[in-house]
Amino acid sequence: MSTGSTIERRTAEQIAPWRVLATVLGALVLLAVALRLVDPVRFAWSSNFLLVFNALLIEATPFILLGALVSSAIEVFMSPRAFEVLGRMPRRLQLPAAALAGVAFPVCECGSVPVARRLAARGLAPGAAITFMLAAPVANPIVIASTFVAYKGQSILWTMVLGRILLGLIVAMCAGWVVSLQTKGQLLRPRPDDTLEANREHSERRWREYFGHVGNDFVFMERFLILGAAVAAAVQTFAPQSFINPVAITPVVSQLAMMGLAFLLSLCSESDAFVAASFVQFGVSSQLAFLVFGPMVDTKLSALYIGTYGGAFFRTILITVAAVTLVGTLWIEVLFG
């Protein structure tokens, strides 16, 4: 009797998730029918919203996936020893070397947090590990490529691409220098699941694990892109120019506004240039503030930072990154604005 009920319970547990998925698919079919009947394209505002929303997703989604493909390859196929050469360098060279390593490795902001933690745990100076963590998502090859595509054809193309790389590296090194005052013990929180992860890595075939990582990374990042695209589309659909223009042309306010927006939107750095470029009312320096600050500090990263390094670390990074980004972009405003 008890064996029979155990089997029934297991079968029910196995069927339950499929039922939920079938319900979700059913809801999507109903949505399709409802959209066909209502036809929101008839209304100018909803047509405008859907066009901008979908355009941002169509342009940025391949870059999100490309980032997931590459960062998953680093996670699954690359030996952690590849980074150990950094740890053997003299301490004063570790910060710039870590920043340049960030340029070479296409790791997104979410992927760079555990990588930096692993580097610090393996003996890299904490400041250098944090420099790598902040530099990689702003200045890696995929981010540079997406920024190039987003601004191609505009006179500000090279200001945006080079400004993002250089300012990103400077901000990352400044934050790394501030953090270097801490010891490894102060910085790292112990993680009891480190062993679990290591065991799991060996129990699955690598390619299956690779595509598992790709899928998980894609789902994690794409949801934030969808949210960001919805906010950007709403701003472009409902906010009149008379409201946006005064904010966009006021120095300091415009940079802070774009940094605040980047924090809230939590976009992946591989796709954020497309959203930044859509805010054409804002100048070069404000768009750069969005592109440099966002990949270093945003809502999703806040949770990751606090969970990985603690609240004090998050406050340090927030203040340092915000201050250096603001000063840097104001200089760019003076030079190129």
Partner 1 sequence: MKERWSPARVATGVMMTAWAALFWFLVLSGRELLYVSTRTKWVVPTGAVILTTAALGRLWSARTEEPEPTGKREAWILGLMMVPVVTVLVLPPASLGTYAVSRRSSFLRAGLAANPADITSGPLTLIDIASSPVTALGQKALQQKAGDKVSFVGIVAIYPDTSADEFYLTRFVVTCCVADATVAQVRVVGVTPGRFKNGDWVQVDGDFYPLGDEMLVAASSVKTVPQPHNPYLTP
Site for partner 1 in 136-175 (CB under 8 A): 149-156
Q: Which residue, 207 or 331, has its beta carbon nearer to partner 1?
A: 207
**In the block, residue with structure tokens 């003996």:** 123
Least Cβ distance, residue 313 to partner 1 (angstroms): 29
Helix, strand, or coil (residue 15)? helix
Q: How many residues bind partner 1 (CB under 8 A)?
A: 74
Is 56 near partner 1 (CB under 8 A)?
yes
Interacting positions 3-32 with partner 1 (CB under 8 A): 14, 17-18, 20-21, 23-25, 27-28, 31-32
Interacting positions 74-103 with partner 1 (CB under 8 A): none
Cα dist from 143 to 87, 103, 156, whole Å = 26, 9, 17
Least Cβ distance, residue 139 to partner 1 (angstroms): 20
Q: Which of 166, 237, 251, 264 binds partner 1 (CB under 8 A)?
A: 237
Distance CA 285, CA 337 (A): 7
Least Cβ distance, residue 94 to partner 1 (angstroms): 35
Of residues 60, 84, 142, 147, the one with CA closest to residue 108: 142
Q: Which residue, 89 or 156, has its beta carbon nearer to partner 1?
A: 156
Q: CB–CB of 277/263 below 8 Å? A: no
Distance CA 107, CA 88 (A): 22
Distance CA 302, CA 318 (A): 9
Is 182 near partner 1 (CB under 8 A)?
no
The whole-angstrom distance between residue 254's C-alpha and the CA centroid of its chain comes to: 22
Q: CB–CB of 129/119 below 8 Å? A: yes
**In the block, residue with structure tokens 């480190």:** 194
The token pair at 110 is 């979410």
Q: Which of 183, 216, 250, 299 binds partner 1 (CB under 8 A)?
A: 216
Half-sphere exposure of 173 (CA within 13 A, CB side): 18
What mask, x for binding partner 1 by CB under 8 A, covers residues 299 to 328? Answer: ------------------------------
The piece of 111-119, 203-211, 258-266, 310-318 that touches partner 1 (CB under 8 A) is 203-211
Least Cβ distance, residue 22 to partner 1 (angstroms): 10
Interacting positions 275-294 with partner 1 (CB under 8 A): 275, 277-278, 280-281
Q: Which of 208, 315, 323, 331 binds partner 1 (CB under 8 A)?
A: 208
Q: Which of 1, 36, 79, 190 binds partner 1 (CB under 8 A)?
A: 36
Packed helices 91-104 and 126-139: angle between N→C axes, nearest 10 degrees:
20
Least Cβ distance, residue 99 to partner 1 (angstroms): 28
Q: CB–CB of 105/308 below 8 Å? A: no
The token pair at 46 is 């909803």
The piece of 105-113, 179-187, 237-245, 311-319 that touches partner 1 (CB under 8 A) is 237-245
Q: Which residue, 255 or 287, has its beta carbon nearer to partner 1?
A: 287
Q: Which residue, 23 or 183, has its beta carbon nearer to partner 1?
A: 23
Interacting positions 60-79 with partner 1 (CB under 8 A): 61-63, 65-66, 68-69
Least Cβ distance, residue 106 to partner 1 (angstroms): 14
Q: Which of 7, 162, 196, 219 binds partner 1 (CB under 8 A)?
A: 219
Distance CA 62, CA 65 (A): 5
Q: Which residue, 9 or 152, has its beta carbon nearer to partner 1?
A: 152
Inter-residue long-range contacts of 34-41, CB under 8 Å, 24+ positions, other chains counted: none
Distance CA 221, CA 121 (A): 26
